[in-house]
Amino acid sequence: MKSRILAIIASIFIGIAIGISIYTFIYAKGYSYLLNDPSACANCHVMNEQYDGWIKSSHRSVATCNDCHTPASFVGKYWSKASNGFWHSFAFTSGKFHEPIQIKAHNRQITEQACLKCHQDVVDAIEGTYPQTKQISCLRCHSSVGHMH
Amino acid sequence: MAENTTSPLLTKRRKLYLLVIIAAIMAIGSTALLINILEHKQEAKNPFYRVTELTDDIDDPSIWGKNFPLQYDGYKRTVDQVRTRFGGSEGLPHTPTQVDPRSVVAQSKLEEDPRLKTIWAGYAFSKDFREERGHAYMLEDQTYTERQIVVKQPGTCLNCHASTYTLYKKLGAGDITKGFEQLNQMTFVEGRKQVTHPVACIDCHASDTMQLRITRPAFIEGMRAWKFAQGIKDYDVNKMASRQEMRSFVCGQCHVEYYFQGPEKRLTYPWAKGVKVDDILAYYDEAKFKDWSHAESGAPVLKAQHPEFEMWNQGIHARSGVSCADCHMPYKREGAMKISEHHVRSPLLSINLSCQTCHKWPESELKERVELIQERTYFMRNLAMDALVDLINDIKAAKDAGKTDEELTSARDFQRKAQFRLDFVEAENSTGFHAPQEAARILAQSIDLSRRGQNAIHTLSK
């Protein structure tokens, strides 16, 4: 008898937990992070400057946030979204993060690679003059093509 | 055996208990997250709660602070005394006396560098000159400086040592320029009785819209004169300046070179020929103005006062459209809201917010860059100071040896020119950073002028 009551209570709590989680997900526009719309990246306003900058940038009509900030493969893209999504939420909720925000080395590497999605042909000629181990950094000079800062 | 029969049941029940607890914790966690998101969404709406009605006659910052607690909180923190390598202030204990009840003061610059006493001999600054402290102390430090005892200071000083906007209005029956004229003609002691606060919200912000505005008639007049020199007639800074310009102009109301014009002691910014050091000196020469006669050399000399606005104008940051507030009052995040930091201070104390917004280098690298500029400026400043002290000693020796005023005119003029230039960099609060090349140029010229002054003396003795 007792375990049946417990089971009912458990079910209620599980139901509440799932319900609130779904509501939180909708309220926080969680679904938007699964899509491609750049405005999702400014949902929490921390990246407003980057978003505003992108709107005025030369790349706004050819590349969204995801085009430059996630890997090309499907799994890579969603793994990157999940990992960044978790850490960004964690930083924003705890309020502990460096201001102004700075890209991490791993994410910067993803962006370096992303340039080549479109511009590989352009750089083939200059890449050849460097040893294979020393990749030329696009961002060293072109860091403001997507957005300033 | 009994244990064996009961334990699976207990385990099942325990599992259920555990499930209940985990589910409950998840529900609590989700709710906490939900509320956190809700709060952030509220912050992002940038709510402004009007808890009190502000008018154009309220100068008390604590009342404004009720509507803008975050900005007020930063403003209050200007009491902090923090040293940077070449600036900032150190809180030194001081035994309160009847005339000076302060228990903490900043370090004395005269004791740090006694050459300043020689350079300012005969002027009140040679008696007491301490490192400037934060905005919170501006009124207190001006009230109790020993300079008050040496010289009877005019009410003009209060234009930049107190919140005077409401006083201007009161004295001028609504006309701030008339009120300004009256304040200038009072004694410091008279004027001091009528002001309560150091610079406050109302000195930079309009009470109804919170927009930046200029409240100091001396700046309005100075800008009009400077713009006139550039061919722009009837310039009205409150109507014609852009928002970004205002983010520097409100600071330029006080962080400038100035003098008291005529017997009315009208606070005047000497910009009618421009704001470069050469323009300002040409202006003073034309007006035949001197701050005092040097006690040792007899030269008609000038004292430059904190020309930050003028120096910044010559630098790369001004040229790139970076305002005073961009570095000294950088944007900071409070939850999902951004506000400008009202804890006005050296950007070296907030390199991430002040510099890294544009310069993507580690904080340590940026700090080193700034200090390298300052070190080099300080090196040149020391050379210029030695050269000037040498010149003063030479003129004094020649005077004591019986040389006439006429014979000494040329050397004294060199002193006036060299000294004003040196002081222009020395009194400027960035140790060259606001315009590194300009500061170097000014100091190079100062050294040259001092040595040429010595040559003028040596030619006499031949």
Q: Which tens digit of pLDDT belongs to each residue from B365-391?
A: 999 999 999 999 999 999 999 999 999
3-state secondary structure (DSSP) of residue B29: helix
- The answer on A113 and A84 residing in a single domain is yes
The structure tokens listed for B215 are 């409240």
Contacts of B8 (CB under 8 A, 6+ apart): none
Q: Residue B409's domain spans which residues? A: 358-462
Asked whether the beta carbons of residue B27 and residue A17 sit closer than 8 angstroms, the reply is yes
Q: Does residue B57 belong to any structural domain of this protein?
A: no
The predicted pLDDT at position A137 comes to 86
Which residues in chain B (318-347) have CB-CB distances under 8 A to chain A?
332-333, 335-336
Contact A93 B33 (CB under 8 A): yes
Amino acid at B52: T
Q: How high is the pLDDT of residue B401?
A: 94
CB-nearest partner of A100 from B38, B335, B352: B352
CATH number at residue B423: 1.20.140.10
Backbone angles phi, psi at B292, to 5 degrees: -165, 170
Average pLDDT over residues B225-239: 96
Q: Is A8 inside any structural domain?
A: yes
Structure confidence at residue B8 as a pLDDT band (50, 70, 90): low
Count how many domains chain B has.
Answer: 2
**Domain final residue, candidates B168, B199, B230:** B199
Angle value at C-alpha B81, between B75 and B84, nearest 5 degrees: 110
User: Position B64: which residue type?
Assistant: W
Dihedral (CA of A91, A94, A95, A99) sign: negative
Q: Is A40 among the domain residues? A: no
Q: Is residue A138 part of a domain?
A: yes
| In the block, residue with structure tokens 């390199």 | B351
* Domains contained in chain A, number: 2
H helices of B337-435, in order, are 351-354, 363-400, 405-426
- B152 burial level (CB within 10 Å; 0-12, 13-18, 19+): exposed
Which of B16, B332, B335 is closest, CB to CB, to A6? B16
Whole-angstrom distance, CA of residue A96 vs CA of residue A88: 10
Is A64 among the domain residues?
yes
B179 domain residue, yes or no: yes
B110 CA to chain A: closest CA distance, Å? 39
Last residue of a domain, one of B177, B199, B221: B199
Q: Chain B neighbours among A 71-130 (CB < 8 Å)?
A: 92-93, 95, 98-100, 102
B23 touches chain A (CB under 8 A): yes
End-to-end CA distance of chain B: 125
State whether A111 and A79 are in the same domain.
yes
Half-sphere exposure of B229 (CA within 13 A, CB side): 15
Cβ pairs bridging A and B (under 8 Å): 71
Pairwise CA distance, residues B448 & B446, whole Å: 5
Domain with A20, as residue range(s), is 1-34
Could you tell me if A87 and A120 lie in one domain?
A: yes
Whether residue A8 sits in one domain with residue A27:
yes
Cβ neighbours of B353 in A, within 8 Å: 99-100
Give the residue-averaged pLDDT of B306-319: 97
- For helices B363-400 and B436-461, give the axis angle rounded to 10 degrees: 20
Domain final position from B184, B199, B214: B199
Higher-pLDDT residue of B223, A6: B223
Residues B201, B207: Cα–Cα separation, whole Å: 9
Domain membership flag for residue B123: yes
- Say whether B340 sits in a helix, a strand or coil: strand
Q: Are the CB atoms for A22 and B27 separated by under 8 Å? A: no
Query: In chain B, which among 351-370 make CB contacts under 8 A with chain A?
Result: 352-353, 356-358, 360
Using a pLDDT cut of 90, give the percent of chain A over it.
52
Q: CATH no. for residue A82?
A: 1.10.3820.10
Q: Quickly tell me which residue has 């975050």 as its tokens.
A: B70
Tell whether the model's pLDDT for residue B409 goes beyond 90.
yes
The tens digit of pLDDT for each residue in B120-130 reads 999 989 888 98
Q: What is the mean pLDDT of the segment spanning A34-61? A: 91
Q: Are residues A69 and A105 in the same domain?
A: yes
Q: Report residue B151 as tokens.
A: 């010289």
CA A45, A51, A55, A60: dihedral to nearest 10 degrees?
-140
pLDDT of B327: 97
Which residues are within 8 A (CB) of B62 and not within 5 positions of it... i.e. 6 or more apart?
Answer: B72
Of residues B209 and A122, more confidence is placed in B209
Residues A59 and A103 occupy one common structural domain: yes
A24/B360 CB distance under 8 A: no
Check: CB of residue B332 under 8 Å from CB of residue A99: yes
Position B333 in a domain = no
Does residue A18 share a domain with residue A79?
no
Residue A95 and residue A51 in one domain: yes
Q: Say if A142 is an interface residue toward chain B (CB within 8 Å).
A: no
A97 in the same domain as A52: yes
Task: Name the nearest CA neighbour of B128 among B115, B106, B146.
Answer: B146
- Give CA torsion, residues B422, B426, B432, B433, to 10 deg: -160
Residue B268: strand pairing partners = B259
Q: How far is B31 from chain A (nearest CA, A)?
A: 7
Identify the three-state secondary structure at position B444. helix
Which pair of structure tokens corresponds to residue B82? 């923090």
Question: Is A102 in the same domain as A50?
Answer: yes
Asked if residue A96 and residue A55 are part of one domain, the reply reads yes
Looking at the domain assignment, is residue A56 inside a domain? yes
Residue B459 within any structural domain of the chain: yes
Q: Check whether residue A21 and residue A79 sit in a common domain.
A: no
Residue B267 tokens read as 């606070």
Query: Nearest residue on chain B to A2, judged by CA atoms?
Result: B13
